[in-house]
Amino acid sequence: MLAPKALLDALSDHASKLFSGDTAQPKAELESQFKVLLQSGFSKLDLVSREEFDSQMIVLARTRARLESLEAKVVELEARLAQQP
C-alpha cells in the first residue's frame, strides 16, 4: 500500500505527463486516460467497495446487538448470584 503522499505525487507526475503533451487531445480521450490513471492509483490503496462496507456495517450492528444482549444476561446472572446466601 502506498502512503497517501506518495500516491498523490505519483498521480501528479502522471497527470502532468498526460496534460503536457505537444498535441491537443480531445476531451473524451483526456477523460478516459485520467480515469485509467485514477483507477491505477486507487488500486494501490487498501480500499473496500461500498457494497462490502455496507455488508460489514450490518454484521457489526448484529454483533453489537448480540453483545448487548449477552451483557444484560451477565448482569442478570450476577444479580441472582448476589442474592443467594
Q: Give the model confidence (pLDDT) of 7-46 as tens digits.
A: 777 777 777 776 666 555 676 777 787 788 778 877 777 7
**In the predicted model, what is the mean pLDDT of residues 50-74?**
96
Q: What is the mean pLDDT of residues 32-61?
A: 86
**5 with 41, same domain?**
yes
Q: Which residue has the cell 485509467?
A: 36
Say yes or no: 1 and 39 in one domain: yes
Of 51 and 37, the one with more pLDDT:
51
Residue 23: the pLDDT is 58
Same domain, 36 and 74: no
b/e code 40-65 from CB counts within 10 Å (16+ = b): ebeeeeeeeeeeeeeeeeeeeeeeee
Which range of residues forms the domain containing residue 53? 48-85
Count of the separate structural domains present in the chain: 2
Q: How confident is the model at residue 2 (pLDDT cuts 50, 70, 90)?
A: low
Counting other chains too, the contacts that 12-20 makes at CB distance below 8 Å and 24 or more residues apart are 14/40
Statement: residue 67 has pLDDT above 90: yes
Q: Which residues contact 65 (CB under 8 A, 6 or more apart)?
A: none
Which whole-number Å values give the CA distances from 65 to 53, 59, 70, 78, in the listed order?
18, 10, 9, 20
Q: Are residues 58 and 28 located together in one domain of the fold?
A: no
1 and 41 in a single domain? The answer is yes
